[in-house]
Amino acid sequence: MISAEQLDTLQPQMRQAVQSLLAQIQQRDAEIAFKQAFIDKLTHEMAVLKRMKFAATSERFAASLAPEQRSLLEETLDADLAELEREIEREQGQADDKAKDKTEKKTPKRTPLPAHLPRRDVLHEPVDTTCNCGQPLQRFGEDVAERLDYQPGVFSVERHVRGKWACRCCERIVQAPVPAHVIDKGIPSAGLLAHLLVAKFLDHLPLYRQEAIFERAGHLIARSTLAQWVGECGAQLQPLVNALADELRRHAVLHADETPVAMLKPKHLSDGKTHKAYIWSYCTTSLNATKAVVFQFTEGRSGENVQQFLKLDTPRAWQGTLVTDGFGGYTATTTKGVTSAQCMAHARRKFNDLWANHASAVGHQALRYFQVLFRIEREIEELPGDERRKIRQRKSRRVLAVLHRWLLRQRQLVPPGSATMKAIDYSFKRWTQLTRFVQDGDVPISNNWVENQIRPIAIGRSNWLFAGSLRAGQRAAAIMSLLHSARINGHEPYAYIKNVLERLPTHPASRIDELLPHRWKLAAAP
């Protein structure tokens, strides 16, 4: 390192160049230190997971969980470990040739795919079979790599045949490159991986059930292998999910909602108890041409999770209108520039309960007012935002004014602390937020759209019982974001995710937005 005295003796131009070089070295050192700290964090997390996996095999632990729960935990740990390994590899970059050779020598030889499975050849030949010298190339052999494919109920094998071509004149050999694959040197085809992800994260079939289904189809795949594939796919798809979240935050009006899920934490591993975690759902409105939903998995229900997703403490803080229920974690974002709009359907439910449970006359009359408001919304939902606002100002505002005066009168007539008073006060305390839709034509009247998006998760909980870890929950939320966004954009989720897995390994990172569900178009893989 050059001392300050030596630096002063240099010519001004040379001194500036040296200072610039020193600054670059310091910046590089800082980047290396940050990257190494992140790798150390991932390595530590992997060590913890390996200890958990070892503990999961103990007799004491086995007795604390039902067989289905133990299976779910084991597959979660295997998937987490595979995802961590892929992340560490990505951070470390390509290993040197010696390390790579050493790794390859330790890799056990893969068992050949069963001979009884039908084969389908996929040919990979050079585009040009003419040598540079002008002579035609002669085919003298081929390399074959087999990948396991799956169509519902039927296994088959893709034989990727790469012909070898040579020029007799100049002894030049030409061969098509090895096709890129989302799991490098792995046996599953993109079709099998897509089926695995759709079955697990859309149809809510745990891997131990899929293992049994695959065995009935003629080929047993170990559950640990399926889990590794899921983990690696999760790591590969994460950049696309990040891009989807960035796209979501570009819109001025968003929905948000949350639902609880069970999660097994390391400290509860021995007794099999679960912790209440949450899946948050953020999506564009049904009035928006862009249809997208992003799920976020967190350990708790703190409003800080909302602020983190919206990046409210960063220079890229989201500034828009958030349509939610009355949970305080959402309304706290208003102190950081977010406009709160609350769900009129939640206010309506309070009065619907009065009518359904007690045949309340107040509840019945309130429902008639809400019915008029929602009928107006159905009539104008296809109109542009400006037109919707004009009609709401002319029609909905009058209905709301009459409803507000009527509620004031009813509140004076009902006894304090009654269910009727609580229903009325719910609306009064939130009146400004509940009526926000009248001032903005792009704001929906209710939060029903996002509740519909989160409903499949609530249905799936009865199948997957709990999330085996925080990482597993985050991976599930990420993959479900892509599958459900594909669904609401009218795509068949299997076709979408299969095509994405085929294209992702060679797709430029600068054009990742092309693979987002609302922009995706079916195209052949490179």
Asked if 125 and 134 count as a contact pair (C-beta separation under 8 A), the reply is no
- Bridge partners (DSSP) of residue 188 are 148
Model's pTM, two decimal places?
Answer: 0.78
Taking alpha carbons only, the member of 54, 91, 477 closest to residue 278 is: 477
Residue 102 lies in a domain: no
Instruction: Indicate the number of domains in the chain.
Output: 1
93 Ramachandran zone, left/alpha/beta (phi>0; psi -120 to 50):
left
Tell me what pLDDT residue 103 has: 45
Q: What is the pLDDT of residues 486-499, one digit of tens each?
A: 999 999 999 999 99
Amino acid at 387: E
Asked if 249 and 518 count as a contact pair (C-beta separation under 8 A), the reply is no
Structural domain boundaries enclosing 399: 247-454
Helix 190-201 to helix 207-216 angle (10° resolution) is 130
The span from the CA of 140 to the CA of 137, in Å, is 9
Per DSSP, the three-state class of 490 is coil
Tell me what pLDDT residue 112 has: 83
Residue 517 lies in a domain: no
Extract the residue ranges of the chain whose pLDDT is less than 70. Answer: 1-15, 18, 38, 41-42, 44-75, 77, 93-110, 266-273, 458-468, 525-526
Q: What is the pLDDT of residues 442-466, one digit of tens each?
A: 999 999 998 888 777 766 655 555 5
Residue 100 lies in a domain: no
Q: How wide is the angle at C-alpha 325 spanned by C-alphas 321 and 327, nearest 5°?
A: 105
- Tokens for 145? 């790599």
Tell me what pLDDT residue 115 has: 86
Tell me what pLDDT residue 259 has: 87
- Tokens for 454? 């989160």
The count of residues in the chain is 526
Residue 73 lies in a domain: no
Secondary structure (DSSP) of 167-221 = ETTTTEEEEPPPPP-SSTT-SB-HHHHHHHHHHHHTS---HHHHHHHHHHTT---
Q: How wide is the angle at C-alpha 91 spanned by C-alphas 89 and 92, nearest 5°?
A: 65
Residue 334 lies in a domain: yes
Tell me what pLDDT residue 272 has: 56
Tell me what pLDDT residue 466 has: 58
CB-based burial label for 332 (10 Å; 0-12, 13-18, 19+):
middle
CB-based burial label for 159 (10 Å; 0-12, 13-18, 19+):
middle
Residue 12 lies in a domain: no
Residue 252's contacts (CB-CB under 8 Å, 6 or more residues apart) are 320, 321, 442
Residue 495 lies in a domain: no
Taking alpha carbons only, the member of 174, 166, 58 closest to residue 126 is: 174
CA 346 to chain centre: 27
Tell me what pLDDT residue 453 has: 82
Residue 169 lies in a domain: no
Asked if 495 and 522 count as a contact pair (C-beta separation under 8 A), the reply is yes
Amino acid at 340: S
Helix 190-201 to helix 470-488 angle (10° resolution) is 100
Tell me what pLDDT residue 294 has: 96
Per DSSP, the three-state class of 286 is coil
